[in-house]
């Protein structure tokens, strides 16, 4: 059932009403019985699952600064691995 928002012209109070689409609009404030105006509100629904922009194309990518810092760490790790001699394994028999 949809939720509709109304604002009273007399007292300024805003309130919500659960109404069916075919139900008549509210005409008076439930607080002071003054006349009301129906408000337009933002809908809050999310498209979930695969195939939507948010999941497939609009994902946030790491900023360039973070990416270069990660690349530098990986480069330093590979350099230290190259500069260290291979560890010797000794077997005493």
Per-residue pLDDT tens digits for 2-12: 889 999 999 99
CB 75: neighbour CB atoms within 10 A?
10
In a domain, 25, yes or no: yes
In a domain, 30, yes or no: yes
In a domain, 46, yes or no: no
> Can you give the pTM of this predicted structure?
0.46
In a domain, 19, yes or no: yes
In a domain, 67, yes or no: no
In a domain, 55, yes or no: no
Element (H, E) at 71: helix 64-83
Q: How many domains does the chain have?
A: 1
pLDDT band at 87 (very low <50, low <70, confident <90, very high): low
Between CA 39 and CA 83 the distance in angstroms is 69
* Whole-number Cα distances in Å, 10 to 30, 36, 40, 50: 12, 8, 19, 48
Per-residue pLDDT tens digits for 20-38: 989 999 999 999 999 999 9
Highest mean pLDDT among 2-6, 54-58, 60-64, 73-77: 2-6
Structural domain boundaries, residue 16: 3-39
| pLDDT for position 69 | 60
């Amino acid at each position: 059932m949809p939720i509709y928002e109304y604002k009273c012209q007399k007292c300024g109070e805003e309130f919500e009403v659960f109404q069916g689409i075919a139900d008549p609009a509210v005409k008076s404030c439930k607080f002071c019985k003054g006349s009301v105006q129906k408000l337009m509100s933002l809908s809050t629904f999310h498209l979930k699952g695969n195939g939507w922009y948010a999941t497939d194309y609009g994902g946030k990518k790491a900023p360039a600064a973070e990416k270069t810092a990660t690349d530098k760490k990986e480069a330093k790790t590979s350099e230290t691995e190259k500069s260290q001699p291979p560890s010797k394994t000794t077997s005493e028999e």
